[in-house]
Amino acid sequence: MNPEPITRQIAMIEAILFVSKEPVEPGRIMEFLEIKDIGEFEKLLAIMEKEHLQDRPERGLLLKRSGGGLQLVTKPELHDELKAFFTIKQSTKLSLASLETLSIIAYRQPATLAEISDMRGVNSTGPVKSLLQKKLIKITGRKKVPGLPLLYATTQEFLVYFGLNDMTELPSLEELTELFEEKEQPSLFK
């Protein structure tokens, strides 16, 4: 490989990811750059990460795989300073009700409002509306039961919000159970 085209391809990948608001599918970049071999593309990404981002502490960006695509993101250690600079308000925080609802949808999708409310034990209309507005869930159709209730599932924005590449990166229910299981505390008295 001639170094000039490699440098140009890396520059194009970086530019594409820089201007894109959403993660970009690797296949789309490969098609645009006329790269046929995924191995060749992965080598370009490795060079880009090592020489331009990862091993360069003076750089403020990282290459991240998110939502099934690639994205340039700011380094986590810079977030507090960036928030201070832009005075970012934390309007994207999710309420406990929204998190419960989102968890049910993520693990049971597609799910109806009645199923979600039944699992939570309370009416979940508010959290579902909020999650729809934040585009973390979407309507995927109707369940073929009386009343034809709407079915809800997570979106690509959900993956991006939680930094997941795909749904297989969600922790298993067993892992979550172990994590939140109450461990027996040692007693001071025997």
Using the predicted structure, report yes or no on whether residue 92 has a pLDDT greater than 70.
no
Of residues 141, 137, 68, the one with CA closest to residue 107: 137
User: What CA–CA distance (Å, rounded) separates 101 from 124?
Assistant: 7
Half-sphere exposure of 73 (CA within 13 A, CB side): 17
Query: For domain 96-175, is the CATH number 1.10.1240.10?
Result: no
Name, in order, each residue with C-beta under 8 angstroms of 52's C-beta and a sequence gap of 6 or more: 10, 14, 59
Q: Which residue intervals of the chain bear CATH 1.10.10.10?
A: 3-86, 96-175
- Backbone phi, then psi, for 149, in 5-degree steps? -65, 150
**pLDDT greater than 60 at residue 190:** no
Tell me the mean pLDDT in the region 157-175: 85
Range with the largest mean pLDDT of 65-79, 93-107, 161-175: 93-107
Give the integer Cα–Cα distance in Å for 147 and 135: 25
pTM more than 0.85: no
Q: What is the DSSP letter of 164?
A: -
Give the fold, CATH level 3, of 3-86: Arc Repressor Mutant, subunit A (1.10.10)
Peptide bond into 110 cis (omega under 30): yes
Q: DSSP letter at 185?
A: P
Amino acid at 94: L
pLDDT-derived band at 52 (thresholds 50, 70, 90) equals low
124 and 113 Cβ atoms separated by less than 8 Å: yes
Supply the mean pLDDT for the chain.
85
| Weakest mean pLDDT among 2-11, 35-44, 176-185 | 176-185
* Rounded Cα gap, residues 71 and 98, in angstroms: 26
> At residue 182, does pLDDT exceed 60?
no
Model confidence at 188: pLDDT above 80: no
